[in-house]
């Protein structure tokens, strides 16, 4: 395996940056540290400011507020040319008037690299990305996947300190996507380039990134590794956004009776462990209870039944292949449960289920922040 770069690893620090377009606040008060050699994903719905953040790191946009540091150097005022970042754009942005070869060679030509060396490097990258057959073509003659590789090659060939990828796989079909996902991950591991990967596909982010920054409406929601994000979502947005099928979120209030704590909705009542109950009750009474579909267990034939079991009516059963997704109604509240496929259920049937208490999430209804 060729080593394309020297051993310079760059740490990126976003120090309280904001970007406003007139009245639109595309990004607000973002603080983020990306360690050298780390693979970080920006995850969030459309329009949440992911591309804007990338363009600020690249130097295309100047932050309205805040600083950007590469290692310990303040690069906020540096134009892109002086930052040595590589970027794959959402639209690929291949130069239509240049061949694939010239597209990839472009950053090197601008650096005034000697001709033979350009040739060597372009061919090296082309081989690495398996596009060495396409070097003479124009971008218009390429398929989506090929274009994406060319764009990646163009970003890699200059041996960037930081690699920025803006939804590079969004235009590909599902199969190619999985393939390229693995390939990008492998490349990043081998080249050890500090990488930021923008996506709105959570599976992509979870499977590739060391850490994930979840954004919404220009604000950072949570910045953590995939496991933490999944197991300990910091707020309602993250809880609802991460995980598929999504977490069940049920509005209700905390009540106390005779020293026992209950989560109570207009349709059912659920006993909480004492420690959780008292913790939550000390903060607020209006809460939202969150539980992932896989953390609910259906009780069949009364086996493993307990006093905290809830009774509901089966509404719809959706087979997902490996699992069943059971939609259960409890007096108007809909709950989704993931169950093994060997259960037979009919619509309208009454069932009992229990919640794994260790995996319970409770959020403050007013602030949306997680309490536990």
Ligand X SMILES: Nc1ncnc2c1ncn2[C@@H]1O[C@H](COP(=O)(O)OP(=O)(O)OP(=O)(O)O)[C@@H](O)[C@H]1O
Q: Which string of x and - marks every residue 7-36 that binds another protein (by CB under 8 A)?
A: -x----------------------------
Q: How far is the C-alpha of 259 from the C-alpha of 255, rounded, in Å?
A: 10
Give the long-range contacts of residues 137-141, CB within 8 A, separation 24 or more: 137/99, 137/100, 138/96, 138/97, 138/98, 138/99, 138/100, 139/92, 139/94, 139/95, 139/96, 139/98, 139/100, 139/103, 140/96
By CB under 8 A, is residue 74 in contact with another protein?
yes
Least distance to another protein, CB of residue 95, Å: 6
By CB under 8 A, is residue 131 in contact with another protein?
no
Least distance to ligand X, CB of residue 196, Å: 12
Among 81, 303, 344, 350, binds another protein (CB under 8 A): 81
Least distance to Mg ion, CB of residue 17, Å: 17
Q: How far is the C-alpha of 316 from the C-alpha of 334, rounded, in Å?
A: 10
Least distance to ligand X, CB of residue 366, Å: 26
Task: Give whichever of 241 and 263 is closer to ligand X, judged by the CB atom.
Answer: 241
By CB under 6 A, is residue 24 in contact with ligand X?
yes
By CB under 8 A, is residue 5 in contact with another protein?
yes
63 binds, among Mg ion, another protein, ligand X, none (CB under 5 to 8 A by kind): none
Least distance to another protein, CB of residue 58, Å: 5
Q: Which string of x and - marks every residue 30-69 that binds Mg ion (by CB under 5 A)?
A: ---------------------x------------------
Reading the block at residue 12, the tokens are: 């990126």
Say whether 81 sits in a helix, a strand or coil.
Answer: helix
**H/E segment holding residue 355:** strand 350-355
Contact between residue 333 and residue 326 where contact means Cβ atoms under 8 Å apart: no
Say whether 303 sits in a helix, a strand or coil.
Answer: coil
Say whether 324 sits in a helix, a strand or coil.
Answer: strand
Least distance to ligand X, CB of residue 198, Å: 7
Say whether 143 sits in a helix, a strand or coil.
Answer: coil
By CB under 8 A, is residue 123 in contact with another protein?
no
Among 47, 240, 245, 246, binds ligand X (CB under 6 A): 47
């Amino acid at each position: 395996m060729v080593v394309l770069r020297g051993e310079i690893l760059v740490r990126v620090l976003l120090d309280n940056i904001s970007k406003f377009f007139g009245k639109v606040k595309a990004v607000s008060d973002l603080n983020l540290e990306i360690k050298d050699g780390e693979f970080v994903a920006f995850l969030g719905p459309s329009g949440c400011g992911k591309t804007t953040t990338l363009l600020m790191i690249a130097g295309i946009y100047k932050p309205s507020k805040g600083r950007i540091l590469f290692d310990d150097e303040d690069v906020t005022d540096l134009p892109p040319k002086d930052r040595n970042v590589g970027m794959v754009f959402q639209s690929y942005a291949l130069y239509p008037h240049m061949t694939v070869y010239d597209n990839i060679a472009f950053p090197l030509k601008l650096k005034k690299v000697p001709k033979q060396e350009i040739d060597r490097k372009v061919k090296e990258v082309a081989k690495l990305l398996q596009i060495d057959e396409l070097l003479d073509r124009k971008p218009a003659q390429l398929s989506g996947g090929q274009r994406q590789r060319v764009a990646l090659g163009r970003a890699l060939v200059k041996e960037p300190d930081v690699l920025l990828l803006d939804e590079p796989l969004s235009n590909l079909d599902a199969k190619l996507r999985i393939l390229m996902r693995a390939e990008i991950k492998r490349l990043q591991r081998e080249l050890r380039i500090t990488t930021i990967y923008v996506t709105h596909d959570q599976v992509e982010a979870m499977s590739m990134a060391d850490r994930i920054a979840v954004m919404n409406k220009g604000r950072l929601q949570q910045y953590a590794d995939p496991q933490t994000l999944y197991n300990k979502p910091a707020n309602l947005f993250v809880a609802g956004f991460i995980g598929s099928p999504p977490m069940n979120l049920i509005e209700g209030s905390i009540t106390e009776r005779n020293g026992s704590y209950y989560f109570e909705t207009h349709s059912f009542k659920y006993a909480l462990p004492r420690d959780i109950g008292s913790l939550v009750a000390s903060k607020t009474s209006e809460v939202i209870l969150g539980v992932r579909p896989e953390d609910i267990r259906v009780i069949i034939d009364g086996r493993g039944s307990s006093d905290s079991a809830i009774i509901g009516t089966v509404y719809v059963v959706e087979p997902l292949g490996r699992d069943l997704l059971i939609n259960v109604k409890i007096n108007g509240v809909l709950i989704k449960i993931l169950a093994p496929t060997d259960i037979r259920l009919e619509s309208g049937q009454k069932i009992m289920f229990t919640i794994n208490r260790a995996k319970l999430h409770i959020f403050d209804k007013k602030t949306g922040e997680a309490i536990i």
